Structure 1
Amino acid sequence: MKWYKPRNNEASRLRILLHGPVGAGKSSFINSVESVLRGRVAVRAPTDATSGSSFTKQYKTYKIPNGPDGFYSFVFNDIMGLEQTDNRGVHVEDIKLALRGHVKDGYQFNPNPMTEGDRGYNPSPTLDDRVHVLVSVIPAGSVSLLNDKVVKKMREVRLAASDMGIPQVAILTKVDVACAEAKKNINNAYKSKYLKKQVDMFSELLGLPPNCIFLLKNYESETNTHNSIDALILCALRQMINYGEDFLNDL
């Protein structure tokens, strides 16, 4: 991670876009990755556990410091959460525009989908502006509770990304909340039959192969990092970077 650089000279960094329903843990995952890489719990991406609606309102790029003078060569983009109704949450069309690099950093999402000519519209995206990896995020215990409309939206985004050749993975968060075995010992996450069932169920819903779906726990209540939590986060992150690097090399 520390020494990674895209081999494609047209890209200075790898862009990873997170999407999923409200409260899935997208912002918490960004904080968790930074916590792992910096060796201390970080809370740069704002989160909220009580609002019931998306706390993320802007399209924002997060860079993670790598030493005193530089940053890691991958960035995360957080996006407003998906909701059941069409007039709440992020619009699917806005996510598709983000995938193509048409959404400028800092764009404030609103009830109407972005159109060409809007203040936050980027008419001439570069390879750096485009998304190189799409990550679907869902709490492990909520797979069977996903609303059909939210699933349909996630599926539509996935198919659009596939048409663009963008690689995709998924992360199931909050495994310790969903599974007593994982809560007792986070190292049991990949041994749990219940969590394996959730992975298989989500694979069927979204169409992703199970080996592209990762289990993890975000840093949410901890004040210090732990190797066992770090390992799950790094496992998912490494595959995101591997898939994104393959995508850039194929262009």
Structure 2
Amino acid sequence: MEFVTVLADKQVKVGEDFTLCCETNTGDFTVTWQKNIQKLYCVEGKHRTGKDGKTVFLQIKKAEMEDEGNYTVTIQNRWGSASCSAMVLVELDEWRIVQWKQDPMINALKSFRICSGDIRELRFLLYGPVGSGKSSIINTIHTIFEGHPHINCPTADLTCMSFTRGFKKYNIRNLPFAFYNLMGLEQGQSYRMHPDDIMSVLKGHIPNNYTFHPHAPIDKDNRHYILNPTLNDRIHCLVSVIPADKISLMSDEVIQKMKTIRAAASKLGIPHVVFMTRVDQVCIMTHRDLTKIYRSRRIKEQMTTCSNRLDVPMNCIFPVRNYQEEVKLNEQLNCLMLEAFTQIVRLADDFVKKSYCFVFNLF
């Protein structure tokens, strides 16, 4: 016995009815259904299974988030058995709106002016695990504004040690924005930054191109130390970078290091957000179509896990995708990154405004 046609993958919206069906070459068999390798227990009014001659079917009423999964049908008789499977993806109601036109966002960022004329540029600090995509974020933003693939910041994958060893500045074309990339957080002691150096970075004591020394944090006796940093020298927004497909696997040690850095920024009043990278690796729907990202059950679950592990509000988490293998620009990818970038620009500008007003009021 065998299948003449097999189950087909489905992508349905919340509340829709759908049917999975396939055809066999015989009508003499018994049928069992599974969902995610577990026996499917039919609920009256929700599921209906059956066969019509050589056709086998499963009907599901009013799709819900919990109906997403891999469905398998097995047919069996005294001559043998056969199975086939299909993936069902359920589109949730969109819970966050993205502008899927890049030009208005690019033009707004190109014409952006910092609230205080004394501040030359807004400064963003990226940090997170090795291979999470920090350097790729910088390259992706460069690519968007250059209009062609751009690689200026070396990247590491999730199995490598960090390429970043020092404190290096990356400007975005001729715009008033600058990124700084800390070395990737790793388990253990090797190549780590001293905690005091992190605070010095946030406060503006560390100059561009400084190389960190794990056992010798920079202090005022170091000739490179910026003794009296101005608001221009400080970090204006902290960006945690987390790979969506590794959130649950990250060690408690690395998570705690990230919380420590976030707490240091919070003490200084510096805003903090999370860029959740590699979203296409955790969700088939998003891999096929990035515009479905805020309809994806899987993405929402990963954002929730990220929120719980890092103690960060959901509205401070931005799923993004970086350029990796592409040789042509992708407007959907650009828009997702531009939405996240626009948010940190606004947060950094607000921080500068508040800090400037505070200093001004002292005098």
Is the pair's TM-score, using the shorter chain for normalization, greater than 0.5? yes
Mapped to 2, the partners of 1:239 and 1:91 lie a distance apart of 30
| Equivalent residue, structure 1, for 2:84 | none
- Would the alpha carbon gap of residues 186 and 243 (structure 1) be closer, same or farther in structure 2, given more than 3 Å must change? same
Mapped to 2, the partners of 1:24 and 1:157 lie a distance apart of 16
Q: Structure 1 vs Structure 2: percent identity of aligned residues?
A: 38
Select the structure that is richer in strand: 2
Mapped to 1, the partners of 2:193 and 2:151 lie a distance apart of 23
Contact kept in structure 1, 2:130 and 2:156, CA below 8 Å:
no
Q: CA deviation at 1:176?
A: 0.8
Residue 2 (1) aligns with residue 117 (2): no
**129, 144, 162: which is aligned to 2:233?**
129
Q: Which amino acid aligns with 2:177?
A: F
Superposed CA offset, 1:11-48 (max 9, x none): 11100000011111000000001111121111001113
Moved more, 40-49 or 160-169: 40-49
Contact kept in structure 2, 1:5 and 1:13, CA below 8 Å:
no
| Equivalent residue, structure 2, for 1:112 | 215
Mapped to 2, the partners of 1:162 and 1:250 lie a distance apart of 14
| Equivalent residue, structure 2, for 1:99 | 202
Superposed CA offset, 1:135-169 (max 9, x none): 00010011111110111110011111011000011
Q: Which amino acid aligns with 1:15?
A: R
**165, 173, 176: which is aligned to 1:57?**
165
TM-score by length of 2: 0.65
Select the structure that is richer in helix: 1
Q: CA deviation at 1:51?
A: 6.1
Mapped to 2, the partners of 1:114 and 1:230 lie a distance apart of 38
Mapped to 2, the partners of 1:111 and 1:91 lie a distance apart of 5
1:81 match: secondary structure = coil
Structure 1, gaps ≥5 residues long: 66-70
Superposed CA offset, 1:28-78 (max 9, x none): 00000111112111100111337611111121111122xxxxx10111111
| Equivalent residue, structure 1, for 2:180 | 77
2:175 match: secondary structure = strand
**69, 74, 86: which is aligned to 2:189?**
86
Contact kept in structure 2, 1:19 and 1:79, CA below 8 Å:
yes
TM-score by length of 1: 0.94
Moved more, 178-187 or 11-20: 178-187
Q: Which amino acid aligns with 2:111?
A: W
| 1:198-237 correspondence runs (5 A) | 198-237=302-341
2:255 match: secondary structure = helix
| 1:7-86 correspondence runs (5 A) | 7-49=115-157, 52-65=160-173, 71-86=174-189
- Matched pairs, number: 246
Superposed CA offset, 1:60-111 (max 9, x none): 111122xxxxx10111111111111133333333222111111110011233
Superposed CA offset, 1:221-251 (max 9, x none): 1111110000110010000001011111111
Rg: which structure is higher?
2
Contact kept in structure 2, 1:114 and 1:121, CA below 8 Å:
no
Contact kept in structure 1, 2:132 and 2:158, CA below 8 Å:
no
Q: CA deviation at 1:7?
A: 1.4
Structure 2, gaps ≥5 residues long: 1-108, 356-363
1:224 match: secondary structure = coil
1:93 match: secondary structure = helix
Q: Which amino acid aligns with 1:3?
A: S
Contact kept in structure 2, 1:54 and 1:89, CA below 8 Å:
no
Over the aligned positions, Cα root-mean-square deviation in angstroms equals 1.4
Q: Which amino acid aligns with 1:186?
A: L
1:172 match: secondary structure = strand
2:132 match: secondary structure = coil
Contact kept in structure 2, 1:8 and 1:249, CA below 8 Å:
yes
